[in-house]
Amino acid sequence: MAKAEPMEKCSCGGKLADYDDYLAKQAVKRGVAALPAAVILCAVWAPLFCLVRLGIGGVIGAAGASAILVLLLKKVFIGIILGVLVSVAVGIGRSDLGLFLGAVIGSLGGFFVAAASAMPLKSDATHRLDVVLVAVISGILCAATVYFAEAYGRSKYAKYIGPEPHEGTGAGGN
């Protein structure tokens, strides 16, 4: 009789894990797996978004090169912070909730990305469209970042995140 090959053991060593604990650990792992992609994407789109805003406003030529460079470095730093927050949104909520949280984070963070002393955001009635466009565009960019960062994390770190729990398990399951 041929000797059977040993079966692979899961990370829990074959022990059953509590359903809620497993879901919480899996959420943290999803957020950590999405962190590199979220930080890189936000650190790239934040300064580009600021440059496009300044370019449309026509103030790039008026500002000096060193002022633009310092401004872009600040926007990269803000993008890194937004990327960390986006990875938290990936961990907290999957699919619709994560996209909603990403859009909210982006809408609020977009004001920090778009703010520049060369072309400040004004909230009076004549410039309200500027404020609305910044919130909407940055919200869309962050929601897209949530989507792509989660997809990247899920594809690259699927073994680290672990398998999805089976339907009908957990509290009140079969």
- Compute φ and ψ for 117, nearest 5 degrees: -65, -25
Instruction: State pLDDT tens for residues 101-154.
Output: 888 988 888 888 887 776 666 666 556 677 778 888 888 988 899 889 988 988
Alpha carbons 66 and 80: distance in angstroms, whole number: 21
Q: What is the pLDDT of residues 15-54, one digit of tens each?
A: 777 888 888 888 888 889 989 999 999 999 988 888 887 7
- pLDDT-derived band at 172, boundaries 50, 70, 90: very low
Q: How far apart are CA 140 and CA 160, in angstroms?
A: 29
* Residue 7 pLDDT exceeds 60: no
33 and 157 in contact (C-beta within 8 Å)? yes
Distance from C-alpha of 129 to C-alpha of 125, rounded to nearest angstrom? 8
Question: Is 112 in a helix, a strand, or coil?
Answer: helix
One-letter amino acid at 23 equals: L
For 71-108, how does the pLDDT look when each residue is reduced to its tens digit (9 = 90+)?
889 989 999 999 999 898 888 876 678 888 888 988 88
Buried b (16+ CB within 10 A) or exposed e, 22-55: beeebbebbbbbbbbbbbbbbbebbbebbbebbe
pLDDT at 43: 92
Residue 12: the pLDDT is 58
Inter-residue contact 85 to 103 (CB < 8 Å): no
Max avg pLDDT among 114-118, 158-162, 169-173: 158-162
Q: What pLDDT shows up at residue 76? A: 92
Collapsing DSSP to helix, strand or coil, 124 comes out as coil
